[in-house]
Structure 1
Amino acid sequence: MNKTCKTCGETKPLEAFYKKADCLHGRTTNCIDCHKVTRKAQYWADPERYRAYSSTWIRENPEKAKRMSRAAMLKYKYGLSLDEYEAMVEEQEGRCLICRTRADLVVDHCHERGHLRGLICQPCNVGLGSFRDDPVVMRRAAAFIELTQDGPAPLEWAEMEVGSS
């Protein structure tokens, strides 16, 4: 289904209009492109008014503002919607994929290829970064911890090979 924008006069698919329940077809009268241009012009006509309104709204709606900010960050950084993130948290039962503790979970992603690996807790995320996401270094660290449970490591340990698989 198509709709004609009241501003530019172009006929566009409904997806080119913001959703708005009280409008015809549940969409705004101006297309998204025209709406953005109009809002930007309104902002620059009186930016202080918009900043004041924004500050007041955030102060009066802290939880909603936090949720919206989180949603925007997830979409911008990872291409994830807040619903997708929350579904991942639920699927993982709120547990870190590495240590299995219940915690606030962060999105872990491969820095080289950019793909998402899953949700992990902040300490595990920092740990992966500290080991430069290198499985060989992580295995050596695990072997080191196991070896030194009862005392310091022998000096020759630094030269020993640790399994690579």
Structure 2
Amino acid sequence: MVAGESEVKRCARCGESKPRAAFAIKRTNLDGLQRRCRDCAAESDRKRQQAMGRLVPEPGALSEGYKHCQGCGESKPHSDWHRKVSAPDGLASRCKACRAVEARVSHLRRDYGMTEAERDEMIASQVGLCAICLKAPAVHVDHCHKTGRVRGVLCFNCNSGLGLLRDDPEAMNRAADYLEGNAWKPTLVAPGVYQLPS
């Protein structure tokens, strides 16, 4: 059947003939629609979620303007969700808080090759403090930009400072000398010839 040829379609699961709008889009099928209607697909998904041990509310159990999160299992207002155009209800399957947690876990694994437990263990070995200033809480994973090796966990300011000095030990030593009052000024040894301090 070609898309637009008929106003109704028969659901492969419940056997009912329903309007085409009752079926989700699937471009790889000849008619461009899923084989099961949205209601049957939702029921199948709900049973699968329950089989995985998740608490899923019955259809119609939620108040208007609320959605059930598949991550935390809580029902939250629509304002706690990101928009997702491709979803039937226009909202993501997980709430903003769950997506933020997933993003942190994914960031650690993708960028540093470590888990949250490994990061927490590293923070504990630093007594919860930044490895440089030893004052602020350690919250930002620091790594070598050349090798990718994780060096420690720093506070925001110390991590930013390393980045702004481009991880250059010589620049950091000069900055330390400067802070200690050792003037970092070139010495004029001949007209137009300057000698840098060692």
TM-score class, shorter:
0.5 to 0.7
What residue is the counterpart of 2:91 in the other structure? 52
- For residues 94 and 77 of structure 1, what CA distance do their matches in structure 2 show? 22
Residues 2-43 of structure 1: per-residue CA shift (max 9 Å, x gap): xxxxxxxxxxxxxxxxxx9x67xxxxxxxxxxxxxxxxxxxx
- Work out which of the residue numbers 135, 154, 160 in structure 2 matches 1:101: 135
- For residues 156 and 115 of structure 1, what CA distance do their matches in structure 2 show? 35
**Secondary structure of the corresponding residue to residue 147 of structure 1:** coil
**Secondary structure of the corresponding residue to residue 88 of structure 2:** helix
**Secondary structure of the corresponding residue to residue 123 of structure 1:** helix
For the 8 Å contact 2:140–2:156, the answer to whether it is kept is yes
Residue 177 (structure 2) pairs with residue 139 (structure 1): no
Q: Work out the percentage of aligned pairs sharing the same amino acid.
A: 33
Residue 164 (structure 2) pairs with residue 127 (structure 1): no
- For residues 134 and 154 of structure 1, what CA distance do their matches in structure 2 show? 17
TM-superposed deviation, 1:72: 1.0
What residue is the counterpart of 1:160 in the other structure? 197
Query: Cα RMSD over matched residues?
Result: 2.8
- Paired amino acid for 2:165: F
What residue is the counterpart of 1:4 in the other structure? none
- For residues 75 and 50 of structure 1, what CA distance do their matches in structure 2 show? 31
- Work out which of the residue numbers 97, 107, 112 in structure 2 matches 1:73: 107
Which aligned pairs between 1:15-26 and structure 2 lie closer than 5 A?
A: none
**TM-score (ref. length: structure 1):** 0.57
For the 8 Å contact 2:139–2:153, the answer to whether it is kept is yes
Which 5+ residue runs of structure 1 have no aligned equivalent? 1-19, 24-45
TM-superposed deviation, 1:49: 2.6
For the 8 Å contact 2:141–2:152, the answer to whether it is kept is yes
Report the structure, 1 or 2, having the larger helix content.
Answer: 1
**Secondary structure of the corresponding residue to residue 95 of structure 2:** helix
Q: CA 1:160/1:72 → structure 2, altered by over 3 Å: closer, same or farther?
A: same
- Paired amino acid for 2:159: N
- Work out which of the residue numbers 111, 133, 136 in structure 1 matches 2:145: 111
Runs of 4+ in 1 over 6 A off after TM superposition: none
